[in-house]
A and B are shown apart, each in its own frame.
Chain A
């Protein structure tokens, strides 16, 4: 399909990765430029670079990554002509239909070619894909793309309505994939196109349950067995690197510390109040209180003005209660020790952890995948002699 060389050459189809949302493809053509809001580049600059290179723009502002195409990157980059299939559905269908080297596969319709590229990759250079598209312009565009991607040898693209005209194939394919509005109309044609000398499989891709039910009964009527249905999605996760969550013990310690500071202030003010009884000059009292607080209780600095207000109310409530100077100072000493210890137990800033959750808005439904199997016809009834089944008695 695409280049497998280490370095990019003229004529290669490459994937230009701008951001995770903006992925484009281009054919490296000397003389051409690639211009984007992430800078301007000359195609000829890519030639000789290894695939996977980060390339800075000519002005030095902005960069791109030049990647080797894969069917998955092509799905991100391709021009949408129709609703397309994404990796979750594509990969499950490839597995269920047992598509592998040399498989012969039918798909209808071709659409934007997202599934076609995945099939072409899996069947390899000696498999075959018959692809049918009833929309003429889409068929033409897809044919050009397949040629550009070196798939013409293994893909036969036909502009045809398979529901009306079938596949023009008999006993040829290992598996059939139908992405059509009315797949039940193509089931009998599909049966004709499938090989009868081995187990073959079909997948019908329909967004609505009503379509599934009609498809199931068509498959059953046509003699398919093992009919089953799946729905599959990818749930992308956002990963964040955040500080480890705090323990409530730390919160409790902080609160205890604040509690202690508040009590110290209260007791200090009581003590100051008692002193002011001895010294009736109000203004002087205030100044001396502030001074002593700064001297003895540096821990109180952390307190905000709000808690200062609260302290005042506490004081007012306690105003006039008799207390003894000796008691007050003893309590103060104990509280200071307690407060300092609580402060010291707060650990260093915690390490960071990685957490993840599903992103807020995800694709909730694509289509239902209805699978069925077509077994080779039963052999004619075996002859009466069944001796071959019994081990010879020796």
Chain B
């Protein structure tokens, strides 16, 4: 058995290229975004600086040590088995003077070009109580010092997971609290696949758009609706290092141009050739014509409908968005709405339950817990994110006015239809409406 022979699709550049914005993992565990330009010097603050050329054409995921601005490739860290001893912290007291090595002496060592490992070794040698520490405590001490003096970093492959994690740590409000587990669920619930057709409203800095494009792999169609006159800025996409082919399915409309009853006002681009005075004017008109053509073709695509899913992560009232865009979603298509707030989705849920075109709207919250995995020291991380947001999912269906619930003969009894097991309250005034979704559930 062997892998298929066809050349693979490159979602992103497989190696680091000049002009890429890439993520680096620093010794303290934080990720930092840096731009790699040929012949430039990249500064990492306390870690010092290095020549960018050392990373160009390198694969992602490697670990380097900065030595005099040059990069030395070093092996990845492995988990060190810690041999437990009888030591306890019985004889270690707070506030004791244990480190005769002064800050000035350490500074001098650093300036003399001493390697981090040498400084740490000296600190350990001078440390009065080091030998009293437990082996686990010694490990922790070394790790803390390494984070302080080491000039080692690792390039992070810009997978969707890594980029989402980076943004969530950096500024989770800008990505509307979409944690990586929420993003993953949204993409699965919306059935994103190569070749699908999707509508998205992304006020989450382009995180949703990045996820959809990555899963489409350059095949299919993605139309986003934004609130700006010009094409939307999706800053998360910069970190994804997509190839042009990956970004190709995307085009954008705004809330005015996405309105079918509205005729966008565009400047004329069809000027008779005898009126064109210069090449500059001609190229300007050509550009304008290309923009107008793109606008018109995108509108045609949208209004043709039959999209496989609608994905919403927006600052605007979600029901108003659904009212406008759900008509363009195909039957059986998924509708996925994300919000940092449960309340907003509860309100939306109440509205959708009363409508026959939405099958089984449901609200879920995501939950994720990461563990420290070290031999003999495995436990959930001490600090974790409190919330990764809420998701509402529904399936678009075509109603049939003539279809009746199996329980229709029981309608004379009040509440016969609303006794669903999950305690849902049906709010429609007319029990015939209320039965549309749940009547089957009552028997």
Contact = CB atoms under 8 A, between A and B. Distances in A.
Given A230-B369, A240-B425, A225 B403 contact: no
A71 B188 contact: yes
Interface in B27-82: 39-41, 51, 53-54, 59-62, 70-71, 73, 75-79, 81
Contacts, number: 286
B90 interface: no
A233 B70 CA distance: 44
Interface string A207-241: 00100110011001001011111111111111111
Contacts of A100: 11, 214-215, 217
Contacts of B331: 6, 50-53, 68
Interface stretch (B130-138, B277-285, B355-363): B355-363
B441 A20 contact: yes
A238 B185 contact: no
B424 A390 contact: no
A128 B359 CA distance: 33
Contacts of B78: 220, 223, 225
A376 interface: yes
Nearest to A394: B39
A124 B440 contact: no
Given A226-B76, A228-B371, A389 B54 contact: yes
A386 B70 CA distance: 9
A264 to B, nearest CB: 39
Given A102-B9, A356-B363, A358-B365, A390 B194 contact: no
B27 to A, nearest CB: 15
Given A126-B4, A130-B1, A391-B51, A98 B161 contact: yes
Interface string A351-362: 010111011000
A242 B408 CA distance: 25
A61 B161 contact: no
> Which of A62, A96, A355: most chain B CB closer than 10 A?
A62
Contacts of B250: none
Interface stretch (A86-94, A266-274, A285-293, A299-307): A86-94
Contacts of A225: 76-78
A199 B51 contact: no
Interface in B175-217: 180-181, 183-185, 187-189, 191, 193-195, 214-217
A375 B39 CA distance: 27
A364 to B, nearest CB: 10
Given A212-B378, A376-B59, A391-B53, 15 more contacts: A50-B330, A52-B331, A60-B404, A91-B184, A92-B181, A94-B184, A101-B9, A101-B11, A104-B4, A230-B368, A352-B427, A354-B347, A356-B342, A370-B373, A378-B75
25 contacts: A4-B195, A19-B438, A39-B406, A51-B331, A55-B400, A56-B400, A57-B403, A67-B395, A87-B188, A88-B181, A118-B188, A199-B60, A199-B157, A212-B378, A213-B375, A225-B78, A229-B371, A230-B368, A235-B367, A239-B353, A240-B425, A241-B350, A355-B346, A375-B61, A391-B40
Interface of B: 1-4, 6, 8-9, 11, 14, 39-41, 51, 53-54, 59-62, 70-71, 73, 75-79, 81, 157, 159-161, 164, 180-181, 183-185, 187-189, 191, 193-195, 214-219, 306, 330-334, 342-343, 345-347, 349-350, 353, 356, 359-360, 362-371, 373, 375, 378, 380, 390, 395-400, 402-406, 408-409, 422-425, 427, 438, 440-441, 443
Interface of A: 4, 6, 17-21, 37-39, 50-57, 60-65, 67-68, 70-72, 87-88, 90-92, 94-96, 98, 100-102, 104, 118, 121-122, 124-126, 128, 130, 156, 168-169, 172-173, 198-199, 209, 212-213, 216-217, 220, 223, 225-242, 352, 354-356, 358-359, 368, 370, 373, 375-376, 378-379, 382, 386, 388-392
Top 4 closest A-B pairs, CB basis?
A101-B217, A52-B331, A56-B403, A124-B194
